[in-house]
Structure formats: C-alpha cells, structure tokens
Amino acid sequence: MLNRSKLAAVGLLAAVFVAGGLAGWGGREAAESDDRGPRRRGPDALVSYLSRELDLSSAQRDSVRAIIARHSPETDSLWARVRPRFDSIKARMRTEIDAQLTPKQRARHQQLIEQAEHHRKEREDSTKGKAVGGGGH
C-alpha cells in the first residue's frame, strides 16, 4: 500500500512526465515552420496536432476536445499543486547548469530563460483571456 509521501512522489513524477511531454510536444510544434498562420495553444492546438497526425474525423476531434475539457480541472489542479516544486527543481537545475558555463554562456543562458519565461507568460495570459471571454478550455 502506498503511504502519503510515496503517493505524493508518484503524483509529482506523473505531473513532471505529463509536463515534459507537453513541453516536448509544444517545442516540436513551435519548431515546425509552415504557412498555417499564427500558432494556436492549448486544447485546440493539441486537437489540431492529433487530427493532423492521426487523420481524425470531425466526430473524433469533437470527442478528443470533450475529453480534454473533461479532464482539464483535474490536470489544472494537479499542476497547481506540483508547480511550486517543479519551479524549485528547475531553478536548481539552472544554477547547476550555470556553474558549467563560461560567463558569456551564462549571460546567453539567462537571455534564453528570460525569453522562455516571457513566452510562457504570454501563453498563460492569452489562455486566461480566452477563458474569461468564454473561448478557452
């Protein structure tokens, strides 16, 4: 039987796995260049990606979108609990990476981090704006 700390560790591991998978998926989407216009984020982007890769029918797209919406409160709640710990680990990793870099590389690394944080904040703000307007998840 799992005790509370083991359950928390399993939950954290699962959340980091999901976050890493989504980050990898998002990075792949961002890296692909095409003429489809501005990148969409969130559930619609995932539905579009799966539709392209799996040739989903309209009914399947609607079902996938409904599944994502149904589980969104669970994943949002889990991420809210795990996020502070994830951020702490990320900060320690960045510090350890910086220790391996030259001063010039550290400065560039910091720029990359700031760019990534800026883009993350923009995505969060646009998602919140959609949710407030009724068009989000």
pLDDT at 96: 96
Q: How far is CA 125 from CA 3, 37, 61, 79, 103, in A?
A: 37, 20, 25, 17, 33
Of the listed ranges 10-14, 21-25, 41-45, 123-127, the one predicted with least confidence = 21-25
Number of domains within the chain: 1
Q: Could you tell me which residue, 111 or 121, shows the higher pLDDT? A: 111
Q: What is the pTM of this model?
A: 0.51
Q: Which of 10, 127, 11, 28 is nearest to 80 (CA)?
A: 11
How many C-beta atoms lie closer than 10 Å to residue 34's C-beta? 6
The confidence score (pLDDT) of residue 133 equals 44
pLDDT given at position 34: 46
Percent of the chain with pLDDT over 70: 62
pLDDT in tens, 71-101: 999 999 999 999 999 999 999 999 999 999 9
Q: What is the mean pLDDT of residues 24-35?
A: 48
The residue segments making up the domain with residue 113 are 4-133
CA angle (78 as vertex; 74, 82 as ends), nearest 5: 170
Distance CA 50, CA 43 (A): 11
How far is C-alpha 130 from the geometric centre of its chain's CA atoms? Answer: 17
